């Protein structure tokens, strides 16, 4: 999207055919706006990009953004779903998401979570470690049913991204290491368990990846492991390559397109299959950020503005790290515009900060904008992934709502929390109410 050109005659930002100023008038600020058509277009691009594969599946990585409504939206568009907790599984089932299209991830799933997964019949449990493999086998034995699984493998590929979101290197909390025969030993163990149906392998090397070469290296490692398994008489029919494709947050970011990603993936898979004498397995990918990241925009209202002597000019908004912790966590960078002044030239450089009692509550360190005034609306782009999903009630601030927009229509997906919501689960022990205690 060319943000500066997406506006109406009043000079207001327009998203999904909706005037942002009007959205704020109806729903208030801060506000997450979810552009349905942007996501639909990305889904179509993924399907086109992978269409040359004989068998593939697109699994939405729910950790990027999940609500009951979003789960229903993804089901309506034919995607499968990657969940990482009992809570995400509950949301998906509440939305009516088909259990057989759910992939259950996580490095420390509880026995209760695994029992639920077995009871509802999720499509695959992605097994992270040997402890979990034994636990699943025991639970499946008790229930007198077989567990359909993939084994998560740590391929030893270090993606070029922030260290906090690298997951495929040999020193990671996720997966079974490829080194020292650990992966092949786990494959042999799982294949020999009567309660386990081992369908294939899973890997994931990180998030916000720009360099496609990391995926090619991963594919070669995983296909070599599948060939080694086949030599032992263990045929693995599925290979889940995870997600991780990056998006453009600010000028200078140069992620590969979904089309280029798909073409590169297919070439790497065909080359590795030929190299190891394998038939192409069913391929799964798990896009999250690359589906919903750019489809989200957060709208804030500007409050206090101050210039420190010899320092920066700070513009504070009515949200911040509670609704977007990524800047504090990952030093993430964002682009923004003044939603009620689109088309006006930049006049001053601002540091955009939030309302939370932390010096690290900074949304954008330096950005040139039209002259700001209290009451202006700031639109921060690409907040669809890992913003609402990671939001908190820090400083007892209610979490903000999500409104979906599509061709001029807006609908509420998540209501704004209230102060009553904040204390709904709070209790005061009776003995604390006694005088003198």
- Where residue 396 falls (left for φ over 0; alpha for ψ -120 to 50; beta otherwise) is left
CA–CA distance, 198 with 191 (Å, rounded to integer)? 6
Nearest Cα to Cα of residue 66 among 42, 41, 34, 98: 34
Q: Classify strands 238-240 and 282-285 as parallel, antiparallel or unpaired.
A: parallel
Active site residue 382: no
Q: What is the DSSP string of 185-211?
A: HHHHHHHT-TTEEEEEEE---BSSB--
CA–CA distance, 194 with 141 (Å, rounded to integer)? 9
Q: Classify strands 336-338 and 377-381 as parallel, antiparallel or unpaired.
A: antiparallel
Q: Is 222 helix (H, G, I), strand (E, B) or coil?
A: helix
Tokens of 333: 């960078």
Q: Is 25 helix (H, G, I), strand (E, B) or coil?
A: helix
- Read off the DSSP letter of residue 262: H
Q: What is the DSSP string of 358-405?
A: -TT-EEEEEEEESPP-TT-EEEEE--SSSSGGG---GGGPPPPPEEEE
According to DSSP, the residues that pair with 379 across neighbouring strands are: 299, 337
Q: Are 50 and 58 in contact (CB under 8 A)?
A: yes
Pure H helices in 159-311 = 182-191, 213-231, 258-276, 289-292
HSE-up (13 A, CA, CB side) for residue 350: 28
Annotated catalytic residue, options 18, 203, 357, 382:
357
Query: What's the CA dihedral at 250, 255, 260, 263 to 10 degrees?
Result: -150
- Identify the residue whose tokens are 């140069």: 254
φ and ψ at residue 36, rounded to 5 degrees: -60, -45
Q: Which residues contact 106 (CB under 8 A, 6 or more apart)?
A: 84, 85, 113, 126, 128
Q: Is 28 exposed, middle or buried (0-12, 13-18, 19+ CB in 10 A)?
A: middle
Tokens of 109: 């799933």
Tokens of 48: 């086109």
Q: Which positions are catalytic?
A: 357
């Amino acid at each position: 999207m060319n943000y500066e050109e997406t506006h109406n005659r009043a000079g207001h930002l327009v998203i999904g055919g909706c005037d942002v100023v009007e959205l704020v008038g109806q729903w208030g600020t801060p506000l997450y706006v979810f552009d349905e058509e942007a996501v639909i277009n990305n889904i179509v691009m993924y399907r086109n990009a992978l269409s040359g594969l004989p068998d593939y599946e697109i699994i939405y990585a729910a950790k990027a953004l999940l609500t009951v409504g979003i789960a229903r939206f993804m089901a309506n568009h034919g995607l499968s779903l990657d969940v990482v907790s009992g809570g995400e599984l509950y949301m998906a089932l509440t939305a009516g998401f088909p259990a057989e299209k759910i992939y259950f991830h996580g490095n420390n799933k509880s026995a209760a979570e695994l029992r639920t997964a077995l009871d509802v019949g999720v499509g695959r449990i992605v097994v992270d470690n040997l402890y979990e493999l034994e636990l699943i086998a025991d639970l499946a034995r008790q229930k007198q049913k077989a567990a359909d699984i993939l084994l998560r493998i740590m391929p030893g590929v270090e993606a070029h991204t922030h260290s906090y979101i690298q997951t495929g290197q040999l020193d990671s909390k996720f997966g079974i290491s490829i080194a020292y025969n650990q992966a092949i030993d786990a494959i042999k163990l799982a294949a020999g368990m009567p309660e386990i149906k081992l369908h294939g392998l899973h890997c994931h090397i990180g998030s916000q990846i720009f360099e496609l070469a990391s995926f090619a290296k991963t594919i070669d490692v995983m296909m070599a492991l599948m060939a080694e398994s086949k030599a032992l008489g263990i045929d693995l029919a599925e290979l889940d390559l995870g997600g991780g494709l990056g998006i453009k947050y600010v000028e200078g970011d140069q992620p590969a397109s979904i089309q280029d990603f798909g073409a590169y993936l297919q070439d790497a898979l065909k080359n590795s299959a030929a190299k190891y004498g394998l038939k192409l397995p069913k391929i799964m990918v798990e896009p999250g950020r690359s589906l919903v990241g750019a489809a989200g925009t957060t709208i804030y209202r500007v409050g206090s503005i101050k210039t420190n002597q010899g320092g920066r000019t700070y513009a504070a908004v009515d949200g911040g790290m509670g609704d977007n912790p990524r800047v504090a966590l990952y030093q993430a960078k964002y682009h923004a515009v003044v939603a009620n002044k689109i088309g006006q030239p930049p006049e001053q450089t601002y540091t955009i900060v939030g309302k939370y009692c932390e010096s690290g509550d900074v949304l954008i360190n330096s950005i040139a904008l039209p002259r700001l005034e209290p009451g202006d609306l700031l639109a921060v782009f690409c907040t669809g992934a890992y913003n609402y999903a990671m939001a908190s009630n820090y400083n007892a601030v209610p979490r903000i709502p999500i409104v979906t927009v599509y061709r001029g229509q807006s609908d509420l997906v998540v209501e704004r929390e209230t102060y009553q919501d904040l204390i709904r689960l709070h209790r005061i022990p009776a003995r604390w109410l006694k005088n003198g205690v």
